[in-house]
Amino acid sequence: MTASTSLRDYQRTLSARLVNPDAAQSASKLGVLVGSTRWLVDLADTAEVIPAPTLAQVPLTRNWFLGVTSVRGNLYSVVDFRGFTEGIATLPGEHSRLLLLADKYRIFSGLLVDRILGLYRDDQLQSVGGDDASPWADAQVIDERSQPWLHLGVRRLIAHHDFLQVGA
- Could you tell me what percent of the chain has a pLDDT over 90? 71
Residue scoring higher pLDDT (40 or 135): 40
Q: Which helix (H) or strand (E) holds 95?
A: none
pLDDT for 16 beyond 90: no
Predicted pLDDT of residue 23: 46
Decide: 99 and 46 in contact? Cβ < 8 Å. Answer: yes
Predicted pLDDT of residue 91: 87
Coil, helix or strand at residue 64: coil
- For residues 52 and 62, give the distance between their C-alpha atoms in angstroms, rounded to a whole number: 19
Alpha-carbon distances, residue 29 vs 1, 72, 135, 138, 142 (angstroms)? 15, 25, 19, 13, 13
pLDDT in tens, 25-77: 567 999 999 999 999 999 999 999 999 999 999 999 999 999 999 999 999 99
Domain boundaries 7-164, CATH class? mainly beta
Strand partners, 139: 151
Strand partners, 70: 75
pTM: 0.81
pLDDT in tens, 79-130: 999 999 999 999 888 999 999 999 999 999 999 999 999 999 999 999 987 6
Average pLDDT over residues 143-154: 94
